Amino acid sequence: MTGGRVPIVDLADKSILVTGASSGIGRQCAIVFSKVGARVAIVGRNQSRIEETLAMMDKGTHQAFALDVTDYGSLEGMVSKAVENGGKLGGLVHAAGIEVTLPLGAMKPKTFENIFAVNVIAGFELARLASKKKYLPDDGAGFVFISSVMGTVGQPGKIGYSSSKGALLAGVRSLALELAPKKVRANCISPGLVETPMTDQMFANLPETSRQEIVAMHPLGLGHTTDVASMSAFLISAAGKWITGSNIVIDGGYSAR
Amino acid sequence: MRSEEFIDLLKEIMEIEDRDIRLETNLKEMSEYDSLVVLEIVALADENFGKHLAAKQITAVTTVKSLMEAIGMEHFE
């Protein structure tokens, strides 16, 4: 065996920022990262829910920030504080996102703007901040943006959501090229349908038959947040150091058809 | 909102121009009343009346009147 030790997923001594940490995939990322040694700064809108996340994490030097990621003006202050207390950011996961199922006829410019603000702009704004020299470790960082299979394939009623998730896939390729000299790797994960509060809410608005149809589209059934969180950890860790500009599909076979 | 206005909104969503819809019209018998129209109606109820229609409520809807009842008659005059 050449090339030194084979890296395993280990985030010891890494400081990682996670958005959307109040629930679902973001929360699970925070929990998994804490279990493999990271110091995690979690971001979510709701103070009590991010505190719940903190309580579910392995103990460590973690921080919780209650803020709305579309309040762009407040992001640098938060990043700066996260770095001051937890160290320069070796990882960023943008899991904050909103899901909207609305046919084109009911979509308004404002609906698109709201979706893009959270799903896309906030993520890339955080990437801009986290890639500043003063916040970036010398050995670089791994940025992960949670996209969706809907960013690649379509479904009626998903014009807003799928276009925002597709924007992440496209943006991350340019980001990867631009940030490679700084040893920053930028990737997307495209999950299929994962059981989270967000998808529960989506299902609540759909008839039971639609739910069954959607579940049936996933040969391995619906996903779990840990499926996505583990891949996020892999991408940020040294194990993923040669992966950038990629889209990792984790969808239980949804897009294998 | 007057029921006539509400019916006009429904007609606009379903893109019906050539015929009338009445309170007793059965939406489920109309070819225009598909799953995407249903989603639009859910959005309309939310936006105009602050009423969140659950999947169960919307599947139970038959006539225009039953839709209005699901939204809440207090919103109509």
A161 pLDDT exceeds 50? Answer: yes
pLDDT digits (tens, 9 = 90+) for A2-52: 556 666 899 999 999 999 999 999 999 999 999 999 999 999 999 999 999
ipTM entry = 0.72
Give the nearest chain B residue to A106 (CA atoms): B40
Which residue out of B39, B48, B51 would a mutagenesis test of the A interface target, given it has the greatest number of A Cβ atoms within 10 Å?
Answer: B39
Using CB atoms, pick whichever of A106, A204, A208 lies closest to residue B43. Answer: A106
CB B32 within 8 A of CB B15: yes
Are A194 and A25 contacting, i.e. CB atoms less than 8 angstroms apart?
yes
Q: Where are the domains of chain A?
A: 15-195+225-250
Q: Which residues pair with A16 in a beta bridge?
A: A40, A91
pTM of the model: 0.90
Q: Assess contact for A248 and A186: CB atoms under 8 A.
A: no
Q: How far is A100 from chain B (nearest CA, A)?
A: 10
**What is the distance between the alpha carbons of residues A221 and A158, in angstroms, rounded to a whole number?**
21
What is the distance between the alpha carbons of residues A106 and B13, in angstroms, rounded to a whole number?
Answer: 8
The closest of A194, A73, A174, A164 to A125, measured between CA atoms, is A73
User: Do the beta carbons of residue B49 and residue B75 sit within 8 Å?
Assistant: yes
* Chain B residues within 8 angstroms (CB to CB) of chain A: 13, 35-37, 39-40, 42-44, 54-55, 58-59
Comparing alpha-carbon positions, the chain B residue that sits nearest to A203 is B55
- Mind listing the pLDDT tens digit for each residue in A134-160? 999 999 999 999 999 999 999 999 999
* CATH architecture for the domain at A15-195+225-250: 3-Layer(aba) Sandwich (3.40)
Q: Is the pLDDT of residue A1 over 80?
A: no
Q: How many CB pairs under 8 A join A and B?
A: 32
Long-range Cβ contacts of A172-179 (<8 Å, 24+ apart): A172/A143, A172/A145, A172/A147, A172/A245, A172/A247, A173/A245, A175/A124, A175/A127, A175/A143, A175/A245, A176/A244, A176/A245, A176/A246, A177/A245, A179/A127, A179/A131, A179/A143
Q: Find chain B residues with C-beta within 8 A of A208's C-beta.
A: 55
Q: How confident is the model at residue A5, as a pLDDT? A: 67
Q: Is A182 helix (H, G, I), strand (E, B) or coil?
A: helix
Chain A residues whose beta carbon lies within 8 Å of the beta carbon of residue B43: 102, 106
- What does the pLDDT look like over A38-95, one tens digit per residue? 999 999 999 999 999 999 999 999 999 999 999 999 999 999 999 999 999 999 999 9
